[in-house]
Amino acid sequence: MDRADRYRRQTVLPEIGEAGQRRFAAAHAVVIGLGALGSVTADLLARAGIGRLRLVDRDVVELVNLQRQTLYTEPDVDRPKAEVAAERLRATNGDIAIEGIAKDVHSRTVEDLVRSADVIVDGTDNLETRFLLNEVAVARSVPFVYGGAIATQGMVMSIHPPRTACFRCLTPKTPPPGTLPTCDTAGIFNALSSQVGSLQAGEVLRLLLGEPPSGDLLVVDGWIPEIQRIRVARRPDCPTCVRGEREYLGAKRSQVLASICGSDTISIDPVHRGPVDLDALGTRLGRLGAARRAGSVLLVDVEGHRVTVFADGRALIRGVADEAEARTIYAKYVGV
């Protein structure tokens, strides 16, 4: 096959053309979160020939993800999503540069992760990370393509102030923790999450060609199905895109904890910690319980908890009731 032929079915589109394909090849997209939406978006962007793709996710693949997260298969369970997704997409398109980064996105990591991005894609599952991405996107004047999906309902919006409202204009107040439904409690219809991911990919491709953001919120009913457009106005007192406050970006935390989408898993990301020798740690912990490697991570089963340790010192701790218990397990088995 002539490799120049690879994009023929889209360069023939008058909306894209050869010039559009060159813009794709020169573009850098950062996808934050590789669940259902991020799987679909990253896959379509790789196939469309986006020249640089950075794929970021803090989590490992679980069997429950396979119902809708189309980049993963059964042998991938327990491996970091970012690593598996990068492998899969490198096999899909060897002509582009793909990075998989298994990191938590928070105020101390986000600037590095989105550096040089032409567009930031929201594949996250929580409001706090969306507010953070919204702030960093507004601060850098980079478009941010928001997407969300729960049960049979989804939303998509391209955000690029001052031409559009921002995510904070759309959601001015943070609801108290525990009041929002999560994919664990409300479920998710897999055809809907794929629709939302596809809409996001379409927005990204259009934005990279220099098309204006639609400025509308797309509200998707994946069951009926139906898509509505809702005009979202900028709020004249928006703390993020009008007043320039950096509430989430400026948050200083010495040790970062984040619970993962309604589950009993907590991610611990110690700030002052270097690389961990996972083989040595595996040998040490092997005496206490089952410890084994899964790709680039070490899995340890202790005291009824599954601890997934990453080479940079971060850990996912499953089966804990609260942050205090997660910190205790981390200190005891990984060390601080």
Burial category of 55 from C-beta neighbours within 10 Å (exposed 0-12, middle 13-18, buried 19 and up)? buried
Using CB under 5 A as the binding rule, whether residue 166 contacts Zn ion is answered as yes
Which residues, at least 6 apart from 206, have a Cβ–Cβ distance to it below 8 Å? none
Toward Zn ion, which CB reaches closer, 161 or 270? 161
Residue 68 near Zn ion by CB under 5 A: no
**Is there binding between residue 169 and Zn ion (CB under 5 A)?**
yes
Q: How far is the CB of 37 from Zn ion (least distance, A)?
A: 22
Which of 54, 58, 81, 168 is close enough to bind Zn ion by CB under 5 A? Answer: 168
Draw the binding track, 236-265, toward Zn ion (x: CB under 5 A; -: no contact).
--x-xx------------------------
Annotated catalytic, 241?
no
Q: Between 166 and 208, whose beta carbon lies closer to Zn ion?
A: 166
Does residue 314 belong to the site contacting Zn ion (CB under 5 A)? Answer: no
Assigned token pair, 45: 């962007």
Stretch that binds Zn ion, among 44-52, 75-83, 160-168, 225-233 (CB under 5 A): 160-168
CB of 129 to Zn ion, least distance (A): 17
Rule CB under 5 A: is residue 160 a binding residue for Zn ion? Answer: no
Taking the least distance from each CB to Zn ion, the nearer of 74 and 237 is: 237
Residues that bind Zn ion (CB under 5 A): 166, 168-169, 238, 240-241
Q: Which residues are catalytic?
A: 183
